[in-house]
Structure 1
Amino acid sequence: MGNARPTPSEQACGPAVPTPSGRAVHRPLGIRDVALTGGPLGRWQQVNRDASIPLGIKQLGEAGNLDNLRLAAQSVAGELGEDAAAAFRGPRFSDSDVYKQLEAVAWEAGRAPDDDLMDFVRQAGELLLAAQRADGYLNSYYQVVAPEKEYAELAHSHEMYCAGHLIQAAVAIARVGGGEQVRTVATRFADHLVKVFLHDGNPGIDGHPEIETALVELHRVTGERSYLTLAEKLVNERGKGLISGRGRRYLQDHLPVREADTHVGHAVRALYLEAGIVDVYLETGDESLLECSVRRWNDMVAAKTYLTGGVGSRHAQEAFGDRYELPPDRAYTETCAAIASIHWSWRLLLATGEGRYADLIERTLYNGFAASTSTDGTRFFYVNPLQRRHDHFEGDDPGRRNEWFSCACCPPNIMRLVATLGHYVASVSEPADALFVHQFVPGTIRAELPSGAAGVSVATDFPWAGTVSFTIDQAPGSEWTLAVRAPVWSTAVSIAVDGQPTDVAPDESGYLRLRRAWKPGEQVTLELDMTPRIVYPHHRMDAVRGTAAVERGPLVYCVEQADQPAGVDVDDLALVPGTEPQVVDVDDLAGVGRTVTLHLNAVVVAPPGNGSPDSATPPYSTTPPEEQVTTTPTTAVAIPYFQWDNRDGAAMRVWLPVAHRSAP
């Protein structure tokens, strides 16, 4: 990569781009090929540019991340003072936040050029050049605080993890153009890792996977095979007990990757590893890697994924729990885990062409991930529970979105994904000469097909409404296929061309395929069923047995205290089954903005005094609940889960008890 200018084809790419010789059946489009012009995702992308990214850059200065690198630069120059270790601020992996912020800035500047953003890239690059040692090593903590422990604490040092985020930032910069300093630093560090862990025989692997997928992407940009070889080695060595400390299951070091059937341990680490596993498969063709990754994806979706798409049910070790261990109030569901899930599912989609991976991306994107950020883009969730009580308090979960965190892994991670949302909207299948649309967002899509250039404009009010219109703007003269995903949640799907219904049904991969010699001006209209759905949990999910939740389109709904009638507590609500929720379109809900609320037929449950603060008796009874409670009919108002916590900070819940009986 070095100082070479990126080619136009590199500039047209996004964060995950398999090589032409790889095993991908779909090819992603570039960040400039898909423009989001509206809807929640388009709005979020604009808020990310206007508010979130400037906040992130400011916080890197205030939290000490950039100062830590300045200390590292002093160490390289031989000017480090005796009190330098005490001056270091933040966790030992603080450099990674700088790199994720750099990646977010690069993609955003590539999406819509901005001199100020590229100035940050240039200034950061100059700092990194000064902080990097002559041998290519760069880690402010180990250069300043513990130089004698370099690569001696890999279970928790995050040295390769930080390097991975640096490499991903450099890949982004290479693909959008500019930022030669960052690219030079990243390549030197990657070469250093190859020397130490490939050629010199150091058997270590990092306790936090991330470097694997970064090395594969660097191989894709540069063509340097040793980066791919090192990534393959790190994947193959995991599970052989090479990492000491913190527990082998926590570190995904308990079983070789081809033998593990389910996810255990730290959720973010597990899913970053999965993304790397699929990336290695895509470039090597090792089918055993794809097979084991798909097997674990199936298990995760079936038994370890929340309704919101979030994963990781335990606060302890930020980890996956047992199968069906999915408590709503104790859900950890870290934002970074949602991001990692999207990364992994996207790579599986490129590898297989199966729409079910786009289905999970949609669920996670609109719910577990979208909830991470406040409406104004300046506050963030680290933890994303599905229930919050009025008196909630926990040291590692403040209950409200924060502007920043002492461990600030999530905010810049959010920013880099939001800046690249267009990357996940559509792809091309070259053998089929087809343009596949996976996510429905107002905007434009441009793609180079084997038959020529194609352009499509998308008009929709999704996810608030189920009509999606595709207008052909540009088309080759010969036949090509427009393929549109049929979401698994829509019980009825229809598609028409210029107003004429077709008899096309979803194929086995979950897409409606229309093939013809398209002409500019022709319009395809997709109609999805947006009827609200009452959903019930698997009988083994003990924490939510006897409850139900509400969904509409891709959105999971919740009841938040701010919307309920006076005197009605969300914790006393029970859902009356058998009635369809009323859909209410709201142009501008105070504190929230555009939304669609659902009015639910519910009851207020009033049990006897057992367990109330004044009763002084335990909250248990020998009388069955349906025989002891009284109920009062009410209308509960639900809002999309991703819009919660933008108002009063009071109680919220996704799962509501199902009423045993309504009031007489």
Structure 2
Amino acid sequence: MTATGTPAAPRSGRLRPLSLREVTLRDGFWQRRQQVNRNTSLAHIEHWIERTGWLANFTVAPESRRGREFSDSEIYKLLEAMAWELGREPDPGLRARYDRIVAVVAAAQLPDGYLNTRFGRAGQPPRWSDLEWGHELYCLGHLIQAAVARARTGHPDDLLVLVARRAADLVCEVFADAGVCGHAEIEPALVELYRVTGERRYLEQARLFVERRGNQVLDDIEFGRSYFQDDVPVRDAEVLRGHAVRAVYLAAGTVDVAVETGDDELLAAVVRQWRAAVSRRTYLTGGIGSRHQDEAFGDDFVLPPDRAYSETCAGVGSVMLAWRLLLAEGDPRYADLIERILFNVIATSPSDDGTRFFYTNTLHQRVLGTEPGADTQVPRAASTLRAPWFEVSCCPTNLARTFAALTAYIATTDDDGVQLHQYTAADVGVTLPDDRRVGFRVDTDYPATGRITVRITESPGTPWTLTLRIPPWATGATLMTSDGGVTEVAPGSARLRRVFTPGELVILDLPLHPRLTVADPRVDAVRGCAAVERGPIVYCAESVDLPAGVALDALRLTPSLTDTPGAVLATCEVTALPDENWPYSGTPSPLPARRSPVTAVIPLRPYHSWAGRGPSTMRVWIPIKTLSGTT
């Protein structure tokens, strides 16, 4: 078994991931969030799976089972997060908590490997009797992912690994000839288990699941078979569609299968779907899913900000997919999207203290939210503010495993050097394939400022290449080296190949200025509006920052933007809103004009921090003041 210590470890591809031990985050935006996750969120989740009875489901009688059909998966995602954290930094207390939960899970496994608390016992539906909605394979996928995390961090003989292998063996036996799960997840899990163990039948079973999908093997439902991605074979689909989380999980597993089997056609199909979804079905924040009723992608350019579902789990899955594509192809555009999602979806969901979460991530909150009590479990999307727990609590556990493994997404290596994809204070040390040792320290407070200083700490006496990602918004970025040379670098990648010496500095300056962003005119919902961005951060206006008597809907954005620490000051014209009984008229007419336009300077805050100061209305897209004074 391998012990690479990273969530995805393909055996081939343009780039290779680094392990959790090869990259160490230091104080900064992401290290602080990773520590909150370790020190607070894991215990918070553990408390709730105990309180809700979801962990007890593994020990109680079938008639006493509590929670939804997929609640087992939340225990497995917590175990995965714990495994990554133990791999980063051993801790006896955390290890004891991990071992206790694993023992409970292992004791519930049946002799043939079957493990599920919702099916198969007396008084419950038979095994595999509801592939559309039962989530049995989905839950086992998360069990396997947790086991992979434990194996890759140096514990290939851990009890959880043995449990997962027995379950995977049963899956291969039962589903050799037919069947798929209504919720994709088993596919990437089986490929990762193959990568860890070398057992090829796990890869073959994942391939079978991918190839069967889209051939109408699941029952039709009110949302249509596209909900399950079972309407069109994966190879033939043109765009990601249906339930957003299911779609990106399936696509991630498909990339894994394509890479491991050398199936270039299959990989090209996912790349085609990804590009179409990013260009036509993705929010400014990187979030996906614009339909609440089925948590799904909308049609092309249907991206209403006030109806953005943008589920946190879909953001996690989108990072999983983009990361696999980055490793396969090396295109920095995948890392660009990962950065956008990390800062504007992943960082948005949890509260600063790691005990409350957004399930969905709207871009326009029209009414003041209601803050749930600290002991309140709410429906999945009913809370208009962050909630401590949900009846469907997939998002807190998905965030936990993502933050725990976040270190793995910072940098990669290839035969000739190291690629730095995400900018945060960190130490990187890696052995290249030819046994040359390379290391450097990254100093930065990005995204507060745009200076990234790379100090070489280890270097062989031969040339190697340091590659730095230049984001698409960073026109005018410059690269300065220790010899004093300054070079302007274009968006994409900047590559330095030389014989580096320890102590040598490479300084990348990314221009961080507030900028107005407008949407494709086919996005009807925000035509006539603009958003404000600064670097990778999307900004928003909140009612708590408005002067007394000024409504959020009355703001008209002007080009005047001033950069200040923690906020962008936007000069807005404040319009008079009509007060009529009927919101329609026979002829177009501007809003009532004021004799002397009233302006106000409004602080716009990072979107990821919204609702952190209590109930607030909020909007990302703000109408633009035109020359005529109308929008």
Normalised by the shorter chain, which TM-score bucket? over 0.9
Shift of 1:65: 1.1
The alpha-carbon distance between structure 1 residues 652 and 642, as it changes in their structure 2 partners (threshold 3 A), is: same
Aligned to 2:7: 15
Within the candidate set 494, 512, 527, 2:478 is matched to 494
Within the candidate set 293, 297, 322, 2:299 is matched to 322
Cα deviations across residues 148-200 of structure 1 (Å, max 9, x unaligned)?
421111011101100000000000011123471111110000000011111xx
The alpha-carbon distance between structure 1 residues 408 and 553, as it changes in their structure 2 partners (threshold 3 A), is: same
Does the 8 Å CA contact 1:632/1:662 hold for their aligned counterparts? no
Matched, 1:341 2:318: yes
How many Å separate the matches in 2 of 1:128 and 1:634? 58
More displaced stretch, 641-650 vs 545-554: 641-650
Does the 8 Å CA contact 1:494/1:501 hold for their aligned counterparts? no
Give the secondary-structure state (helix, strand or coil) at the position aligned to 2:525. Answer: helix
How many Å separate the matches in 2 of 1:113 and 1:162? 27
Does the 8 Å CA contact 2:350/2:357 hold for their aligned counterparts? yes
Matched, 1:206 2:184: no
Within the candidate set 583, 588, 592, 2:563 is matched to 583
Shift of 1:38: 2.1
Within the candidate set 391, 402, 405, 1:417 is matched to 402
Aligned to 2:592: 628
Within the candidate set 654, 660, 664, 2:620 is matched to 654
Give the secondary-structure state (helix, strand or coil) at the position aligned to 2:563. Answer: strand
1:626 counterpart letter in structure 2: P
Give the secondary-structure state (helix, strand or coil) at the position aligned to 2:496. Answer: strand
More displaced stretch, 258-267 vs 448-457: 448-457
Shift of 1:499: 5.7
Aligned to 1:35: 24
Give the secondary-structure state (helix, strand or coil) at the position aligned to 1:645. Answer: coil
Does the 8 Å CA contact 2:476/2:490 hold for their aligned counterparts? no
Shift of 1:373: 0.7
The alpha-carbon distance between structure 1 residues 391 and 462, as it changes in their structure 2 partners (threshold 3 A), is: closer
Does the 8 Å CA contact 1:499/1:525 hold for their aligned counterparts? no
Residues 497-508 of structure 1 aligned to structure 2 (within 5 Å): 497-498=481-482, 500-503=484-487, 505-506=489-490
How many Å separate the matches in 2 of 1:517 and 1:450? 17
Does the 8 Å CA contact 1:626/1:661 hold for their aligned counterparts? no
Does the 8 Å CA contact 1:263/1:300 hold for their aligned counterparts? yes
TM-score, with normalisation over the residues of structure 2? 0.95
How many Å separate the matches in 2 of 1:449 and 1:324? 43
Does the 8 Å CA contact 2:554/2:577 hold for their aligned counterparts? no
Aligned to 1:429: 414
More displaced stretch, 325-334 vs 119-128: 119-128
TM-score, with normalisation over the residues of structure 1? 0.90
Aligned to 1:272: 249
Within the candidate set 183, 187, 203, 2:165 is matched to 187
The alpha-carbon distance between structure 1 residues 620 and 660, as it changes in their structure 2 partners (threshold 3 A), is: farther
Shift of 1:567: 2.3
Within the candidate set 218, 235, 248, 2:193 is matched to 218
Does the 8 Å CA contact 1:164/1:212 hold for their aligned counterparts? yes
Aligned to 2:58: 69
How many Å separate the matches in 1 of 2:347 and 2:483? 34
Does the 8 Å CA contact 2:368/2:615 hold for their aligned counterparts? no
Shift of 1:447: 1.2
Residues 154-173 of structure 1 aligned to structure 2 (within 5 Å): 154-173=131-150
How many Å separate the matches in 1 of 2:339 and 2:421? 9
Give the secondary-structure state (helix, strand or coil) at the position aligned to 2:348. Answer: helix
How many Å separate the matches in 2 of 1:442 and 1:487? 18
Does the 8 Å CA contact 1:366/1:555 hold for their aligned counterparts? yes
Residues 137-536 of structure 1 aligned to structure 2 (within 5 Å): 137-144=114-121, 147-178=124-155, 180-198=158-176, 201=177, 203-246=178-221, 247-390=224-367, 396-430=381-415, 433-451=416-434, 452-498=436-482, 500-503=484-487, 505-506=489-490, 510-536=492-518
How many Å separate the matches in 2 of 1:506 and 1:480? 21
1:604 counterpart letter in structure 2: V
Shift of 1:205: 0.3
Shift of 1:500: 1.7
Shift of 1:318: 0.3
Shift of 1:501: 2.5
The alpha-carbon distance between structure 1 residues 627 and 221, as it changes in their structure 2 partners (threshold 3 A), is: closer
How many Å separate the matches in 1 of 2:241 and 2:481? 47
Does the 8 Å CA contact 1:13/1:28 hold for their aligned counterparts? no
Cα deviations across residues 451-473 of structure 1 (Å, max 9, x unaligned)?
51111100011011010000000
Aligned to 2:571: 601
How many Å separate the matches in 1 of 2:521 and 2:387? 35
Give the secondary-structure state (helix, strand or coil) at the position aligned to 2:265. Answer: helix
1:330 counterpart letter in structure 2: R
Does the 8 Å CA contact 2:411/2:418 hold for their aligned counterparts? yes
Give the secondary-structure state (helix, strand or coil) at the position aligned to 1:628. Answer: coil
Aligned to 1:613: none
Shift of 1:441: 0.5
1:555 counterpart letter in structure 2: I
How many Å separate the matches in 2 of 1:124 and 1:317? 33
2:541 counterpart letter in structure 1: V
How many Å separate the matches in 2 of 1:499 and 1:267? 49
Give the secondary-structure state (helix, strand or coil) at the position aligned to 2:128. Answer: coil
Shift of 1:555: 0.2
Give the secondary-structure state (helix, strand or coil) at the position aligned to 2:579. Answer: coil
More displaced stretch, 116-125 vs 54-63: 116-125
Does the 8 Å CA contact 1:380/1:411 hold for their aligned counterparts? yes
1:465 counterpart letter in structure 2: T
How many Å separate the matches in 2 of 1:36 and 1:371? 20
1:492 counterpart letter in structure 2: G
Does the 8 Å CA contact 1:438/1:484 hold for their aligned counterparts? yes
Aligned residues: 616
The alpha-carbon distance between structure 1 residues 506 and 609, as it changes in their structure 2 partners (threshold 3 A), is: closer
How many Å separate the matches in 2 of 1:450 and 1:168? 27
Cα deviations across residues 577-632 of structure 1 (Å, max 9, x unaligned)?
3x3x11111xxxxxxxxxx200001011112322xxxxxx1123346453624341
Does the 8 Å CA contact 1:339/1:417 hold for their aligned counterparts? yes
Shift of 1:648: 2.1
Matched, 1:558 2:532: no
How many Å separate the matches in 1 of 2:106 and 2:448? 48
Does the 8 Å CA contact 1:604/1:632 hold for their aligned counterparts? yes
Shift of 1:211: 0.4
The alpha-carbon distance between structure 1 residues 450 and 264, as it changes in their structure 2 partners (threshold 3 A), is: closer
More displaced stretch, 268-277 vs 448-457: 448-457
How many Å separate the matches in 1 of 2:339 and 2:231? 31
Cα deviations across residues 13-46 of structure 1 (Å, max 9, x unaligned)?
2110012xx3x11000001111111221111001
Does the 8 Å CA contact 1:154/1:205 hold for their aligned counterparts? yes
- Gapped regions of structure 1 (runs ≥ 5): 1-5, 72-79, 586-595, 611-616
How many Å separate the matches in 2 of 1:290 and 1:244? 27
Within the candidate set 607, 610, 615, 1:644 is matched to 610
2:227 counterpart letter in structure 1: Y
Does the 8 Å CA contact 1:633/1:662 hold for their aligned counterparts? no
- The sequence identity of aligned pairs, in percent, is 44
Does the 8 Å CA contact 2:77/2:401 hold for their aligned counterparts? yes
More displaced stretch, 448-457 vs 263-272: 448-457
- Gapped regions of structure 2 (runs ≥ 5): 371-377
Aligned to 1:591: none
Does the 8 Å CA contact 1:107/1:176 hold for their aligned counterparts? yes
Does the 8 Å CA contact 1:90/1:406 hold for their aligned counterparts? yes
